[in-house]
């Protein structure tokens, strides 16, 4: 397998390739770069759901999962890892839909990855070139496009909008929460918090979450792993201190001491079931307590 150990991708020295096959996971749509042969990826059934690929204004593709009823539901934007909208991200949308949300995952890398090659690629430099081309203002523009599209859908309760993101998407979640007043809450899963140090991989996303703490418009819950090599404890502590200094009501960071980067990703060797389950429960509670409750039944 190839072990993904850092928030914006694995550095060459992090790569460890074994002879164990992960072809089945890749064939099912999971990212080749992070798939582990021993992984037992969760598959969420689609009964009672409507799932579809849509194209938003400007040509932005997105995956949508929602309850199959006539009610207007709260909506969550799901921001992908460095591998784009592969099967793990789609399944995350389905999990949120089963919880009672409209979940939408835009293809933030589509301009430079029109063939959706990220999920099947093991070419690390090529992956990082594609990810690096998605700069902050472009990504924020795509978030705005997604929010505008949601506002026009009869099946969305536009008063209840949230955002969550994983890895690369975790940083995007913090940035979007500082930009868009339409968002009521955000949950960032192990997204980079401060700028890169020499030698670290980066998508050149500027500014960084710690730079916009004073601008947060929505409370963000950060979920981080104590064993994460790419987001050291010093970075998390600095962000926690910045949140306290800014007096950002409702924003906080939870650290799971025995969890590594990517602990929610069940297709990876880094998956930590206890931390993933607890984080999911905390995410739903955070949305519920900050104006983005799910509609059930």
Annotated active-site positions, please?
Answer: 167, 228, 261
24 within 8 A of 292, measured Cβ to Cβ: no
Query: In the structure encoding, which two tokens stand for residue 277, read together?
Result: 């389950």
Q: Helix, strand, or coil here: 249? A: coil
Q: Helix, strand, or coil here: 57? A: helix
Sign, CA dihedral 138-140-146-148, equals negative
Burial label for 13, CB within 10 Å (0-12, 13-18, 19+), is exposed
Distances (CA, A) of 72 to 67, 287, 296: 10, 16, 11
- DSSP secondary structure letters along 173-242: HHHHHTT-TT--EEEEES---SPPPTT------SS-GGGGGGG--S-EEEEEETT-SSS-HHHHHHHHHH
């Amino acid at each position: 397998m190839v072990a993904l150990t850092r928030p914006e991708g694995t550095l060459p020295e992090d790569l460890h390739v074994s002879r164990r096959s992960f072809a089945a996971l890749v064939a099912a749509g999971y990212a080749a770069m992070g798939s582990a042969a021993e992984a037992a990826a969760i598959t969420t059934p689609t009964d009672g759901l409507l799932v579809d690929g849509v194209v938003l204004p400007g040509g932005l593709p997105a995956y949508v999962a929602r309850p199959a009823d006539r009610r207007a539901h709260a909506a969550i934007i799901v921001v992908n890892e460095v591998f784009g909208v592969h099967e793990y991200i789609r399944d995350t949308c389905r999990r949120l839909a089963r919880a009672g949300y409209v979940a939408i995952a835009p293809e933030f890398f589509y301009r430079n990855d029109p063939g959706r090659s990220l999920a099947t690629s093991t070419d690390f430099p090529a992956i990082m070139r594609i990810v690096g081309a998605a700069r902050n203002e472009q990504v924020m523009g795509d978030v705005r496009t997604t929010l505008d599209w949601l506002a026009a859908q009869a099946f969305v309760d536009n008063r209840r909008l949230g955002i969550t993101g994983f890895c690369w998407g975790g940083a995007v979640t913090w940035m979007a929460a500082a930009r868009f007043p339409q968002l009521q809450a955000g949950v960032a899963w192990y997204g980079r918090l401060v700028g890169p140090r020499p030698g670290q991989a980066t998508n050149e996303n500027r500014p960084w979450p710690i730079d916009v703490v004073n601008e947060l418009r929505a409370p963000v819950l950060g979920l981080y792993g104590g064993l994460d090599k790419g987001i050291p404890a010093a970075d998390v502590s600095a962000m926690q201190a910045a949140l306290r200094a800014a007096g950002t009501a409702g924003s906080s960071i939870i650290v799971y001491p025995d969890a590594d980067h990517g602990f929610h990703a069940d297709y990876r060797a880094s998956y930590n079931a206890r931390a993933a389950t607890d984080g999911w429960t905390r995410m739903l509670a955070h949305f519920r307590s900050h104006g983005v409750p799910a509609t059930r039944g």
